Chains A and B, each alone.
Chain A
Amino acid sequence: MARTQLRLVSEAHMPQSTRPIIEMKGVSKTYRTRDGDVPSLKPIDFTINEGEFLVVVGPSGCGKSTLLKMVAGLLPPSTGEIRVQGKVIVQPHSGVGVVFQQPLLLPWRSVFSNVMMPVEVKGLDKDVYGKRAHELLEMAGLKDFARKYPWQLSGGMQQRASICRALVHDPKIVLMDEPFGALDAMTREKMNVELQRIQRATGKTVLFITHSIPEAVFLADRVMVMSERPGTIAAVYDVELERPRTLDVMADPRFVALTQKIRHHFYAHGGLD
């Protein structure tokens, strides 16, 4: 195993800009409860570059969802500051689109109308963004389902629609909190391929949260491994696998080696390696 070169730089790899788009400095989170303070996230410093696909992988309760909510501006950090595109985040902002674990489509709205919800809320031009919504739905393979209602769609389709909704107002950053966690394994793999395609096509910066190690390695430019509560960064790995990746990449020795290495963070506290 040791001979596998994890840091191998491939020629086909897309050159990433190194302009930071999300910067975290000393960001930590402590929840105040009746039984006292519960530290959820130890102070972390981290930077995500523009156009990067960053996947955070960690066990349940390591504060990875907390991290995402803070970047979205839904939760204030206890210490430190988060800057998105240079601005300090204190409340929800239009620079991001969020995809949650559940599709959270409103059952009284058609798929198209659901996708248009951020446009309505923000009072953007309905004609311009309506066209964009249709293009996104087409890209997600939901062209014929625009007029359908969410409950008439399968789970995978619903989640794709919710990704369209996160993209419709053209945010630079998409935050995804275990978006495929509720899907079956096969649909999940298909969705991973789809998401990779969508991300390459749109050039968005993605902060993706998962507890699936293969999913993390398959999708990521960089994988951030988090340790158990209170969460902290255990390691960061570059994934130097060529794009576009197919599901066959999972048999690639570099893929196998990296998943193995990440797995050791969770199962071998004594430090095998």
Chain B
Amino acid sequence: MAQAKSRLSVGEILQGPWIRPVLFLIALIVVWDLAIRVFNIPPYQVPSPVDVVITLYKEWPLLLREAMPTTGATIAGFLLSAAFGIPVAMLIASSKTVESYVYPLLVFSQSIPKIAIAPLFVVWFGFGIFPKVISAFLLGFFPVVVSAVQGFKSVDPDLLDLARAMEAKRFQTFRMVSLPFATPAIFAGLKVSVTLAVVGAVVGEFVGSNSGIGFVLQRSIGNFELPMMFAALVVLSLIGVILFWLVDVIERVAIPWHASQRHDFVVAA
């Protein structure tokens, strides 16, 4: 009886949604390792996964220390893009005039490769955390604006009529109808934004910094320390995944009513 029960739970674990990507990842690492052995790839081109793990373990304190400024710059840039992006989207969505002036320029600004102008921030703001934050902000800003504009504009006109029939003031309509309605779209934008903000922070570190994961990446590649570079990449992805997951958790708390969250919500209720 007890055995049957435990077998069932093992089966359940294998069915769990989180286990599948992990299994796939393990499979990929095995393929990576095999490829190195079969094709005789020298370690200065692609390190073996074992070497990367050893480096990760040995250099963990250093990597963790360097992860701090990167994470800080990412979060600061991300918060800035949310703090500016959402109000800008509100303005664009609420006024045709503002939209006609601002939106085309905003789209145009996206065609400027921000990576190319990143050195400019170093010229302007020096070697501190500031250029990284600006670079993270610039990459994270656009997806927030686009999604939020989409969200505010897709509010059901009947809902607006309903609010109007209740004699709701402009701000009341915004607070009670438009903002909650747009929240799921805003979160979709924030999720894209947070991963791009990581990229932005690293780009900032590439062009002018003496700390952070981006700096470690650049230095290790200069010295052909491939395992170190890969270890830094792993840390970088972890930062991205953790921040994405945090936004996801906040979304769950903020919009438990939304269709994408209902399953969990019913279980929790």
The interface of chain A, by Cβ under 8 A from chain B, is: 69, 72-74, 91-94, 96, 98, 100, 102, 104, 106-108, 117-118, 120-122, 149, 151
Is B257 within 8 A of A107, CB to CB? yes
Is A100 within 8 A of B162, CB to CB? yes
B159 / chain A contacts, CB cutoff of 8 Å? 104, 106
A262 to B174, CA, bound (A): 44
Say yes or no for B115: interface residue by CB 8 A criterion: no
From residue A273, how far is it (CB to closest CB) to chain B in Å? Answer: 38
Interface residues on B, range: 20 to 34
B161 / chain A contacts, CB cutoff of 8 Å? 69, 74, 100
Describe B's contact surface by its main secondary structure.
Answer: helix
Is B165 within 8 A of A92, CB to CB? yes
Describe A's contact surface by its main secondary structure.
Answer: loop
Is B162 within 8 A of A108, CB to CB? no
Q: Which of chain A's residues has its CB closest to B266's CB?
A: A152
A107 / chain B contacts, CB cutoff of 8 Å? 257-258
The one of A94, A121, A151 in contact with B262, judged by C-beta atoms closer than 8 angstroms, is: A151
From residue B249, how far is it (CB to closest CB) to chain A in Å? Answer: 18
A93 / chain B contacts, CB cutoff of 8 Å? 167
B156 / chain A contacts, CB cutoff of 8 Å? 104
Q: Can you give 21 A-B contacts (C-beta < 8 A)?
A: A72-B165, A74-B161, A74-B164, A91-B167, A96-B165, A98-B165, A100-B161, A102-B158, A104-B156, A104-B158, A104-B159, A104-B162, A106-B176, A107-B257, A107-B258, A108-B180, A117-B166, A120-B176, A121-B166, A121-B172, A122-B167
B158 / chain A contacts, CB cutoff of 8 Å? 100, 102, 104
A149 to B255, CA, bound (A): 13
Is A92 within 8 A of B164, CB to CB? yes
A98 / chain B contacts, CB cutoff of 8 Å? 162, 165
Q: A100-B161, A106-B180 are in contact. List 12 more A-B contacts (CB 8 A).
A: A72-B165, A73-B165, A74-B161, A91-B167, A106-B159, A107-B258, A108-B257, A117-B166, A118-B166, A121-B167, A122-B167, A151-B262
Cβ-Cβ contact count across A and B, 8 Å cutoff: 49
A120 to B180, CA, bound (A): 16
Say yes or no for B163: interface residue by CB 8 A criterion: yes
Is A94 within 8 A of B177, CB to CB? no
Say yes or no for B19: interface residue by CB 8 A criterion: no
A93 to B257, CA, bound (A): 31
From residue A124, how far is it (CB to closest CB) to chain B in Å? Answer: 11
Say yes or no for B253: interface residue by CB 8 A criterion: no
Residue with the greatest number of chain B CB neighbours at <10 A, chosen from A94, A96, A104 = A104
From residue B168, how far is it (CB to closest CB) to chain A in Å? Answer: 5
A93 to B166, CA, bound (A): 7
Contacting A at CB under 8 A, from B117-163, are 156, 158-159, 161-163
B176 / chain A contacts, CB cutoff of 8 Å? 106, 117, 120-121
A149 to B172, CA, bound (A): 21
A117 to B177, CA, bound (A): 11
Q: Which of chain B's residues has its CB closest to A75's CB?
A: B161
From residue A239, how far is it (CB to closest CB) to chain B in Å? Answer: 28
From residue A100, how far is it (CB to closest CB) to chain B in Å? Answer: 6
Return the 5 tightest CB-CB contacts between A and B, nearest first.
A108-B257, A98-B165, A121-B166, A121-B168, A118-B166
From residue A110, how far is it (CB to closest CB) to chain B in Å? Answer: 9
Q: Which of chain B's residues has its CB closest to A107's CB?
A: B257
A74 / chain B contacts, CB cutoff of 8 Å? 161, 164-165
A94 to B167, CA, bound (A): 7
Is A106 within 8 A of B164, CB to CB? no
From residue A75, how far is it (CB to closest CB) to chain B in Å? Answer: 10
A117 to B166, CA, bound (A): 9
A22 to B166, CA, bound (A): 18
A74 to B158, CA, bound (A): 11
